[in-house]
Amino acid sequence: MTFRRRDFLSLSGAAAFATALPHRARSAEPGVYDLERFGNARILHITDTHAQLLPGYFREPSVNLGIGAMAGQPPHLVGHAFLDRFGIKAESADAYAFTSLEFEKSAARFGKLGGFAHLKTLIDRLRNEAGPRNSMLLDGGDSWQGTGLANTLRGADMVEATNLLGVEALTGHWEFTYGEETLRNNLARFKGEFLAQNVFLTDEAAFNGAKALDPASGRVFKPAMVKDIGGYRVAVIGQAFPYVPIAHPKRFTPDWTFGIREQELQALIDSLRSTEKADAVLLLSHNGMDVDLKLASRVHGLDVILGGHTHDAIPQAIAVTNSGGTTLVTNAGSNGKFLGVLDLDLAGGRVRDVRYHLLPVFSELLKPDAEMTGLIEKIRSPQVAGWSGKITTIDRLLYRRDNFTGTVDQLICTALRREFDAEIALSPGFRWGATFLANQPLTMEDVLAETAITYPETYVSRLTGSEIKNTLEDVCDNLFNADPYHQQGGDMVRIGGLSYSCSPSESIGRRISDLKLDNGRAVESHKHYSVAGWAAVNPQQGMPVWDVLAKQLGSAKPRAETADNVALRGVTGNPGIVEQ
Amino acid sequence: MTTSIGRFPVTRRLVLRGAGFVTLAGFGITSFAPAALAAANDKYPEDAFRQKDGKEAIRLLYGRTAEPSDQIKLDAPEIAENGAVVPISVSTSLPNVTSVAFVVPANPNVLAAYYKIPEGTMPDIANRLKMAKTSSVIALVESGGKLFSAAKEVKVTIGGCGG
């Protein structure tokens, strides 16, 4: 890696967009998306679109705590601390896109973000500006999941949409939860490359002759590709989510083993540099940003890590030094809200300089592409007709993204407790899920946008108080472990009927305390409690959670769970939490 | 004995890696290479395998403490996909290796596996260790009469709830 200190000064150019954006995007000049021409290779990056084909709302977190060495460092900044760090003006369109500040007020002013027809327009424009054969479009994964449509069609809608968008390489996470057969069928129709250097056959599967890319390495998928861009060789390595069989039911990927695979990655980078004569090496990563930041410090020879998974919309590339020089780390948000633009100035065998921009996709500033609009309509119409009836209206903003709770999850927990007459409900801390404004009709399509997964079955079981505490401790450690490699990138499991205190900076076993039921009684370690939930890694038989939620929302006026059922300790002054 | 090395796929991997010139004496591989076991000629380190404390197991096995070495390549997952069978391998460029051992301090019995390495053998071992909970995994390599180690923490989690 060949960046020098003065190269980073140019990165401040990434913030220029923020200040250049007009106060009111709606009335903006067409120049909002005008980028200064730079370099000779333009790499466009989308990630974690979660199948959001249409423009939508997505509220960024007001709680995204970093603990220990990660405290106060990107991506663990929210609200005004985020604006200050990246030089974004309060109450601007960018402040709306990148933070939760004044969300509802700003949503009315600046409108929806994303949408594949709008993305298509922006991508085509930026590629045309770069000139023919001077650009590349990459998708960091979590493209095939997140809507009822994608779940019903098992990702096939997104294969068509990303083909039309022009995606040239994809890596995966939720893509794997459709299982090997669907994954391979979809990939057969996908026009780009599916890249994953860190997915291998298990020893058993290899012994039994399961399909691999090459038996010698045991790799299941192509690990990397090299594309000629403007006369230079740009290598892209795919890094799938490293913990698929841990975070999801192993039955979806029984033959495959994952992991970060640092050593294999280093060997691959070295061979791309020496044998393939790559002028630039990029990692298209679904590790999550904290993992990518650590990886960048331990592996050398990567120019840029284009990251996803943790849904962190970070306007600048973060420079990380390692034994070979410097690697830049980005993370490009979620739900189609953002388009990452990496302009590389390539010289023989190295990257001379870079510019990075993370552009919010303001749908009201972009004319939707007609062909993509037609494709989306054609795919959607037959499927969504039955999902358009109003189930209810909710009198508050519905969102999920925050470390500990979201209003959507409070509704789910309430529905689960009522359905199963359970004392306690648990709901996973996913980071996907649409945001819906208050007092709007909520439809089955909306309910599915919060719940559509391939293992939606609900359950009710009897757990002891200590089992409940251990579950909370385990999930909390996946969020706040001091070692990023021991984090899985989701948020804390959501709870209903229960309250607790959490000290994120403690170690596992010591973070969770003061567990109490809603009636004020302390949870006793040996006593049994009825616990309802969904998205278990073990097979369950209950009704899909979307049906439970729709049934309960439709049957009675929804009752709010207390939203402040987690008391945080030891986080005063942490810029990863918005001051109330 | 907590190693599951007797399972055939692992055995096969060892055979392939050894390419015919390995004579491996792995305790617990009851159906594998009896000639090598006989050749090893050392008695089973029963006391060391009974230990609950990592340091004591190492002392009983080697009578000394180990010093960290960057010439040991220890390959283990950051988070185990299945705590019952955690794939862990070790290879080393250290010369004259006479034994390799794996210690998992958080396991009920801390010494997980111990291999005698006959002269002329390539020290490259892949095995699976059973881990009840998150623990460091220590690989010990006896080389030229000295003891070296490498360690990595492996997390064992109940899973679920990933982004």
Q: So what's the ipTM on this one?
A: 0.89
What is the percentage of chain B residues whose pLDDT exceeds 90?
65
What is the C-alpha separation between A202 and A258, in angstroms, rounded?
9
Domain limit, last residue, from A356, A376, A396? A376
The answer to whether the CB atoms of B157 and A203 lie below 8 A apart is no
Pair (A395, A251) in one structural domain: no
A362 and A395 housed in the same domain: no
Let me know if residue A101 belongs to a domain: no
Structure confidence at residue B21 as a pLDDT band (50, 70, 90) = very low
Among residues 118-137 of chain B, which lie with CB inside 8 Å of chain A?
Answer: 134
User: Does A505 score more than 80 pLDDT?
Assistant: yes
Q: Which residues of A touch B162 (CB under 8 A)?
A: 241, 243-244, 246-248, 478, 488-490
Residue to mutate among A199, A251, A264, A488, with most B CBs inside 10 A, is: A488
Q: Which residues of B touch A429 (CB under 8 A)?
A: 161
Q: What is the CATH number of the domain that holds A243?
A: 3.60.21.10
Tell whether A463 is covered by a domain: yes
Judge if A332 and A392 occupy the same domain.
no
**Are B161 and A203 inside 8 Å of each other by CB?**
no
Nearest CA to CA, how far is B47 from chain A (Å)? 32
- pLDDT, mean of residues A293-299: 98
Domain closes at, from A329, A352, A376? A376
Distance from CA of A557 to the nearest CA of B (A): 29
Domain assignment present for A75: no
Chain A / chain B CB contacts < 8 angstroms: 90
Do A200 and A227 lie in one domain? The reply is yes
pLDDT of residue B132: 87
Q: Supply the pTM of this predicted model.
A: 0.90
Q: How sure is the predictor about A255, in pLDDT bands with cuts at 50, 70 and 90?
A: very high
Instruction: Check whether residue A345 and residue A474 sit in a common domain.
Output: no
Residues of B in contact with A240 (CB under 8 A): none
pLDDT surpasses 90 at B158? no
* pLDDT higher than threshold 80 for residue A373: yes
Q: What whole-number distance in Å separates Cα of residue A119 and Cα of residue A121? A: 5
Taking residues A518-533, what's their average pLDDT? 97
> B-chain residues within 8 Å CB-CB of A204?
9
Q: Express as a percent the part of chain A with pLDDT over 70.
A: 93
Considering A323, A347, A376, which residue would you say is the last residue of a domain?
A376
Say if residue B9's pLDDT is above 80.
no
Of A203, A309, A537, the CB nearest to B160: A537
Encode pLDDT of A429-461 as tens digits.
999 999 999 999 999 999 999 999 999 999 999
Min Cα–Cα distance to chain B from A348, Å:
34
How many domains does chain A fold into? 2
Share of chain A above pLDDT 90, in %: 90
Model confidence at A579, pLDDT cuts 50, 70, 90, reads confident
pLDDT interval class at A3 (50, 70, 90): very low
CB contact under 8 A, B78 and A259: yes
The pLDDT score that the predictor gives to residue B160 is 65
Band of the pLDDT at A564, cuts 50, 70, 90?
confident
A539 within a domain of the structure (yes/no): yes
Task: Supply the range of the domain harboring residue A357.
Answer: 5-26+41-57+111-376
Q: Which residues contact A237 (CB under 8 A, 6 or more apart)?
A: A195, A197, A223, A224, A265, A268, A269, A272, A281, A282, A283, A284, A302
Residues of B in contact with A537 (CB under 8 A): 159-160
The model's pLDDT over A340-364, given as tens digits with 9 standing for 90+, comes to 999 999 998 899 999 999 999 999 9
- Asked if residue A498 and residue A414 are part of one domain, the reply reads yes
Task: Quote the pLDDT of residue A559.
Answer: 62
The pLDDT of residue A348 is: 86
Inter-chain touch A508–B81, beta carbons under 8 Å = no
CATH for B8-154, options being 2.60.40.2470, 2.40.50.140, 3.90.1150.10, 3.40.50.12780: 2.60.40.2470
Q: Are A475 and A519 within one domain?
A: yes
Grade residue A154 by pLDDT with cuts at 50, 70 and 90: very high
Q: Is residue A560 part of a domain?
A: yes
